[in-house]
Amino acid sequence: MDYQTIIEPFRIHSVEPIPMTTVAERSDAIRDAHYNLFQLPARKVMIDLLTDSGTGAMSRDQWAAIQHGDESYAGSPSWEIFESAVHDLFGCAHIIPTHQGRAAERILFALLGGPSKIVPANTHFDTTRANVEYTGAKAIDLLCSEGLDPELDAPFKGNIDVAALANLLEHNASDVPAVVLTITNNSGGGQPVSMANIRATSELCRRFDVPLYLDSCRFAENAWFIRQREPGYATKSVTEIVHEMYSWADGMTMSAKKDPMANIGGWLATNDELLAERARTMLILTEGFPTYGGLAGRDLEAIAQGLQEAVSHDYLQYRIASTGYLGNALDAMGFPVVRPSGGHAIYLDARRLLPQIPPLEYPGQALAVALYELGGIRGCEIGTVMFGRAPDGSEHPSALELVRLAIPRRTYTQSHIDYVVEVCENVLQVAPSLRGYRITKEPPTLRHFTAQFEPLAH
């Protein structure tokens, strides 16, 4: 028997209350927050889809691993458990724990970057880009053309444009200290990268003697997409697919707050012994001794256990199907969304939903506020508010006006998601009456976190 309902492959062991609020209470709360969802107290949010980073539910076995943690400063047994879990899955020779992903990026690019250097990627995540640029190097995105079309249904929209990369390496290989593939492509809609693309990128990198690093936050979701969509992988285990993915890489950065199922943590791993030695010296300066990085022994154990759970087929089947369930329901009711559904998030297309609101009146912000007021749902604007202010002070429309609904791992059930769908149906109906916003106050950089807004009159 093949049943249609994909049930959560877990039952609830410990619960957290969701504070219920009314539309009137939420209207007051969002006004007090100057219409900025980052400024809302979390207790005023019913369904929090701001991010999938560090917001997942740990398992019974991870909580047990926390109790098993050993806090010895050097050479803790928790470090041995962590190191062998990471090594068994990814095979990298040198593993360097950090407090989260960006700390690994900071160390890696401090060693590889510098003025006149160029770091190409499919798409740099924003902290990766910031850490590359902070060293004076240039971060460039070479996403495949399919990835640029939000309405196109293609299996691997996270792929790098191999021809463009070849062209860059032919002319500038000596300025390229590393190539980065972000798997899945977070900033590009959570879209996967195919094994063929990883292999082709690796072969190209080896030809030019440039190392390939995988920004690995959603490695397990990416492996599941390969298993589902790429010919030849349907009968392989996710662990086998992960082994093959990393056989093509020279190193990795990781945020353990994503697929490794922890609330904090990360690491840098590399096969380059000299680089590892220099990285450990930097680690001691800012993160901690090399057998704990910025983490407690108990965190290392929670990550080691989380890695085993992340590659479970039952979990990944549920994870990808449940994200797709939201995307398909919205698509079916005519709510404009980025296709196909990503692994960790659904992206609502505010430009298509709210054509009456011009980009500089922030349609994504208008949609995000409406979702909150009408349903207590917190998403994240990814559009002109986030990207519209240039370093020279000028303002321009972003390429896309999206609202990201990121799904925390193992946290919400199908009824929560059915509720999100119902709220979106309501938003779809009132969409023609929604109005834009103007910014009344903003900081010089990263304005989306703290900017203050005011609704525009009809």
Ligand X SMILES: *Cc1c(COP(=O)(O)O)cnc(C)c1O
Q: Does 53 bind ligand X (CB under 6 A)?
A: yes
Q: DSSP class of residue 13?
A: S
For residues 158 and 177, which CB has a smaller minimum distance to ligand X in the complex?
158
Q: Does 127 bind ligand X (CB under 6 A)?
A: yes
The stretch near ligand X (CB under 6 A) out of 17-25, 107-115, 121-129, 433-441 is 121-129
CB of 263 to ligand X, least distance (A): 11
Q: Which amino acid is at 277?
A: E
Q: Does 36 bind ligand X (CB under 6 A)?
A: no
Residues 11-30 vs ligand X: string with x where CB under 6 A? --------------------
CB of 102 to ligand X, least distance (A): 3
Residue nearest ligand X by beta-carbon distance: 101
CA distances to 29, 221, 354 from 331, in Å: 30, 22, 16
For residues 44 and 157, which CB has a smaller minimum distance to ligand X in the complex?
157
Considering only residues 237-256, where is the footprint of ligand X by CB under 6 A?
255
Q: Does 266 bind ligand X (CB under 6 A)?
A: yes
Burial class (CB within 10 angstroms; exposed 0-12, middle 13-18, buried 19+) of 414 = middle
For residues 59 and 128, which CB has a smaller minimum distance to ligand X in the complex?
128
Q: Does 215 bind ligand X (CB under 6 A)?
A: yes
> CA 323, CA 355: separation in Å to the nearest integer?
26
CB of 86 to ligand X, least distance (A): 15
Name the token pair of 444. Answer: 């010089």
CA distances to 140, 154, 385, 403 from 448, in Å: 23, 31, 6, 13
> CA 125, CA 129: separation in Å to the nearest integer?
6
Which residues lie closer than 8 Å to 307 by C-beta, 6 or more apart?
85, 86, 89, 260, 261
Q: Does 448 bind ligand X (CB under 6 A)?
A: no
Q: Does 263 bind ligand X (CB under 6 A)?
A: no
Q: Does 259 bind ligand X (CB under 6 A)?
A: no
Q: Does 257 bind ligand X (CB under 6 A)?
A: yes
121 and 343 in contact (C-beta within 8 Å)?
no
> CA 183, CA 225: separation in Å to the nearest integer?
11
Q: Does 100 bind ligand X (CB under 6 A)?
A: yes
β-bridge mates for residue 268, sequence order: 96, 253
List contacts with ligand X (CB under 6 A).
Answer: 53, 100-102, 125, 127-128, 182, 186, 215, 217, 255, 257-258, 266
